[in-house]
């Protein structure tokens, strides 16, 4: 048997370090067994998926030094490798399950289901699909279908007992069926959900081992039941521990930058980041901290993954990166890396139009443009609040960050438009709104245009700097709740 593993990211935002971590362990497992590693794009959530995000994921994983034997860009004989290109396959399998009595149609409207959940909550019950579709007669189903009523297909789930399986890393896991919902497999728009598409693809693509994040553990019963319903062999399934912030909470961009592009922009070496991800829950038999991907594969044993949540600590990563720079790069190589990273003509050409109007002598350039090539600037946090006061700064900055988090088109005019709209909303002048933004981005109170700087710095570095600024003031739990609500109202208005 050829070992085949895969990583199956959903292209719904920045390429996440968690994706790279899961990719790395699947890759190392496959390669240490002389097997194959596949990349599949799970873009069944059409409202959240984008091609830009897909490209950024491919580019980031490649930058890290991972490669795949089959994937949407390189092809392969089990393709297509993008789920939105495989809709007819999922539809066929969903209907097959209905015909075999393992899945069923549900014609309930969104309103009806909302009412069902509200009634359950009112009775103090956990909201859950009540199986109404199962109670329809053949004639009722036919009438709905003939009338062209929209429907979803849901899987049947036993009402009692529990599901047991052997997790490759955790041993026996038992989950009561009562906790498992009658999952939608095929949505009204003809798209599959994750569950159906994931099982069909892992089967058709010949995946033998699946290592996925711990957050999927509770959905294992649904996935494994689907294999049984189809009568397919079940791949080995292992759930990797989630990466954590140093305070042990789940790794989140509020506390740590999570986008691989941020680490690239910050000037980390891809080898060091990959090495650090290899240290997440795993270690070399001799305990050495610095190792290459080839070393990792030579010594790999997934059973040695320890399940306590590994902490992704940027300071440790920096320390390791420093070792890589000093021990692995000659001066010549370091020079080349720096040129490739930012000290090149292209970067200079993007910065110069900003700086030129303020130059008197060439030596003005470095201090003026330092923020284009630096990480997080240092400044006196009092500068952030001097114009707006703490509360207004905090509220407007948080709204700004949320707006930018969802921004697809990173363009200075769009960024300025957002600033203008928010300034109006908070009843402040746009100039005053932008003052703390300016400090956060450039570290100074006067410099080149801030929205231009943000466009050049790109979304990951810009957002990281704004988040650090917000963190200087801090958002209490209570304030965060209130802000979330007012942001929802703002979006709804
Ligand atoms: N698309 C899922 C994700 O992005 C894949 C999970 C899995 O590996 O099954 O996490």
Tens-place pLDDT, residues 296-354: 999 999 999 999 889 999 999 999 999 999 999 999 999 999 999 999 999 999 999 98
DSSP H/E element including 38: strand 36-39
- Mean pLDDT for 467-473 is 94
Residue of 142, 253, 431, 491 marked active site: 253
Q: How far is the CA of 219 from the centre of ligand 1 (A)?
A: 11
Q: Which residue out of 5, 6, 10 has the highest number of ligand 1 atoms within 8 Å of its CB and is therefore the one to mutate?
A: 10
Q: What pLDDT does residue 449 have?
A: 85
Q: How far is the CA of 212 from the centre of ligand 1 (A)?
A: 7
Q: Mean of the per-residue pLDDT values for the chain?
A: 95
Q: Which residues pair with 236 in a beta bridge?
A: 209
Q: What pLDDT does residue 13 have?
A: 85
Q: What pLDDT does residue 429 have?
A: 96
CA dist., res. 309 & res. 138, Å (int): 50
Q: Which residue out of 9, 203, 219, 235 has the highest number of ligand 1 atoms within 8 Å of its CB and is therefore the one to mutate?
A: 9
User: Residue 232, class by beta-carbon neighbours within 10 Å (0-12 exposed, 13-18 middle, 19+ buried)?
Assistant: middle
CA angle (357, 362, 368) in 5-degree steps: 60
Classified as helix, coil or strand, 166 is strand
Q: What pLDDT does residue 305 have?
A: 95
- The answer to whether residues 426 and 367 touch, using CB atoms and an 8 Å cutoff, is no
Q: In this model, does residue 160 exceed pLDDT 80?
A: yes
Q: What pLDDT does residue 430 have?
A: 95
CA dist., res. 469 & res. 451, Å (int): 16
DSSP H/E element including 153: strand 152-155
Residues 436-445 pLDDT 10s: 999 999 998 8
Classified as helix, coil or strand, 176 is strand
Q: How far is the CA of 273 from the centre of ligand 1 (A)?
A: 21
Q: What pLDDT does residue 40 have?
A: 98
Q: What pLDDT does residue 252 have?
A: 81
Q: Which atom of ligand 1 is nearest to the CA of 22?
A: 8
The pLDDT confidence band at residue 407, using thresholds 50, 70 and 90, is: confident
- Mean pLDDT for 384-402 is 95
- The answer to whether residues 7 and 211 touch, using CB atoms and an 8 Å cutoff, is no
Q: What pLDDT does residue 493 have?
A: 82
Which residue is closest in CA terms to ligand 1's atom 8?
Answer: 212
Q: What pLDDT does residue 445 have?
A: 83
Q: Which atom of ligand 1 is nearest to the CA of 42?
A: 1
- Mean pLDDT for 26-40 is 98
% residues pLDDT > 70 (the chain): 100
Q: Which residue out of 39, 212, 223 has the highest number of ligand 1 atoms within 8 Å of its CB and is therefore the one to mutate?
A: 212
The pLDDT confidence band at residue 419, using thresholds 50, 70 and 90, is: very high
Q: What pLDDT does residue 6 have?
A: 98
Pocket of ligand 1 (CB under 6 A): 8-10, 42, 198, 212, 216
Q: How far is the CA of 198 from the centre of ligand 1 (A)?
A: 8
Which residue is closest in CA terms to ligand 1's atom 7?
Answer: 212
Q: In this model, does residue 255 exceed pLDDT 80?
A: no
Q: What are phi and psi of 406, to 5 degrees?
A: -100, 5
Q: Is the pTM of this model over 0.85?
A: yes
- The answer to whether residues 215 and 209 touch, using CB atoms and an 8 Å cutoff, is no
Nearest in space to 98 (alpha carbons), one of 161, 176, 146, 151: 151
Q: In this model, does residue 424 exceed pLDDT 90?
A: yes
Q: What pLDDT does residue 256 have?
A: 81
Which residue is closest in CA terms to ligand 1's atom 9?
Answer: 212
CA angle (104, 105, 109) in 5-degree steps: 140
- Is 444 among the catalytic positions? no
Which residue is closest in CA terms to ligand 1's atom 5?
Answer: 8
CA dist., res. 457 & res. 369, Å (int): 12
Q: What HEC string does the chain produce?
A: CCCEEEECCCCCCCCEHHHHHHHHHHHHHHHHCCCEEEECECCCCCCCCCHHHHHHHHHHHHHHCCCCCEECCCECCCCCCEHHHCHHHHHHHHHHHHHCCCEEEECCCHHHHHHHHHHHHHCCCCCCCCCHHHHCCHHHHHHHHHCCCCCEEEECCCCCCEEEEEECCCEEEEEEHHHCCCCEEECCCCCECHHHHHHHHHHHCCCCEEEEEHHHHHHHHHHHHHHHHHCCCCCEEEEECCCECCCCCECCCCCCCCEHHHHHHHCCCHHHHHHHHHCCCCCCCCCCCCCCHHHHHHCCCHHHCCCCCCECCHHHHHHHHHHHHHHHCCHHHHHHHHHHHCCCHHHHHHHHHHHHHHCCCHHHHHHHHHHHHCCCCCCCCHHHHCCCHHHHHHHHHHHHHHHHHCCCCCCHHHHHHHHHHHHHHCCCCHHHHHHHHHHHHHCCCCCCCHHHHHHHHHHHHHHHHHHHHHHHHCCCHHHHHHHHHHHHHHHHC
Q: What pLDDT does residue 121 have?
A: 93
251 vs 155, more confident: 155
Spell out the residues 6+ positions from residue 197 whose beta carbon is closer than 8 angstroms to its own: 42, 44, 83, 86, 90
Nearest in space to 30 (alpha carbons), one of 164, 191, 211: 211
Q: How far is the CA of 223 from the centre of ligand 1 (A)?
A: 12
Q: How far is the CA of 195 from the centre of ligand 1 (A)?
A: 10
The pLDDT confidence band at residue 145, using thresholds 50, 70 and 90, is: very high
């Amino acid at each position: 048997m050829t070992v085949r593993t895969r990583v199956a990211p959903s292209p719904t935002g920045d390429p996440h370090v968690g994706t790279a971590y899961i990719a790395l362990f699947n890759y190392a497992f496959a390669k240490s067994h002389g097997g194959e590693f596949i990349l599949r794009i799970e873009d069944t959530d059409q409202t959240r998926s984008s091609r830009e995000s897909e490209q950024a994921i491919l580019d980031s994983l490649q930058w890290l030094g991972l490669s795949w034997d089959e994937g949407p860009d390189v092809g392969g004989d089990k393709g297509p490798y993008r789920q939105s290109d495989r809709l007819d396959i999922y539809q066929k399998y969903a209907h097959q399950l209905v015909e075999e009595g393992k899945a069923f149609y549900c014609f309930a409207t969104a309103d009806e289901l909302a009412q069902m959940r509200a009634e359950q909550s009112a009775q103090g019950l956990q909201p859950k699909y009540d199986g109404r579709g199962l109670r329809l007669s053949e004639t009722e189903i036919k009438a709905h279908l003939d009338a062209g009523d929209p429907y979803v297909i849901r899987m049947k789930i036993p009402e009692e007992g529990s599901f047991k399986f052997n997790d490759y890393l955790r041993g026996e896991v038992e989950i009561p069926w009562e906790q498992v919902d009658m999952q939608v497999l095929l949505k009204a728009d003809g798209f599959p959900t994750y569950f159906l598409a994931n099982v069909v693809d892992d089967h058709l693509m010949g995946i033998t081992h699946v290592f996925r994040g711990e957050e999927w553990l509770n959905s294992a019963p649904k996935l494994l039941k689907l294999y049984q319903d189809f009568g397919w062999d079940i791949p080995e399934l292992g759930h990797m521990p989630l990466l954590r912030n140093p305070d042990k909470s789940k790794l989140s961009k509020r506390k740590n930058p999570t986008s691989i592009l941020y680490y690239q922009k910050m000037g980390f070496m891809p080898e060091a980041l990959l090495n650090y991800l290899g240290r997440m829950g795993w270690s070399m038999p001799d305990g050495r901290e610095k190792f290459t991907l080839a070393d990792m594969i030579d010594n790999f044993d997934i059973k040695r993954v320890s399940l306590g949540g590994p902490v992704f600590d940027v300071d440790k990563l920096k320390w390791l990166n420093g070792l890589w720079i000093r021990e692995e790069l000659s001066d010549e190589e370091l020079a080349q890396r720096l040129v490739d990273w930012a000290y090149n003509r292209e970067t200079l050409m993007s910065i110069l139009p900003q700086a030129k109007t303020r130059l008197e002598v060439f030596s003005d350039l470095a201090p003026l443009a330092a923020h284009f090539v630096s990480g997080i600037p240092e400044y006196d946090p009092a500068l952030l609040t001097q114009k707006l006061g703490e509360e207004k700064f905090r509220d407007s900055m948080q709204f700004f960050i949320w707006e930018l988090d969802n921004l697809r088109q990173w363009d200075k005019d769009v960024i300025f438009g957002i600033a203008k709209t928010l300034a109006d909303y908070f009843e402040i002048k746009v100039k005053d709104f932008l003052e703390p933004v300016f400090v956060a981005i450039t570290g100074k109170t006067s410099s080149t245009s801030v929205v231009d700087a943000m466009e050049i710095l790109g979304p990951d570095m810009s957002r990281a700097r704004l988040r650090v600024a917000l963190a200087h003031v801090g958002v209490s739990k209570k304030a965060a709740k209130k802000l979330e609500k007012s942001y929802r109202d703002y979006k709804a208005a």
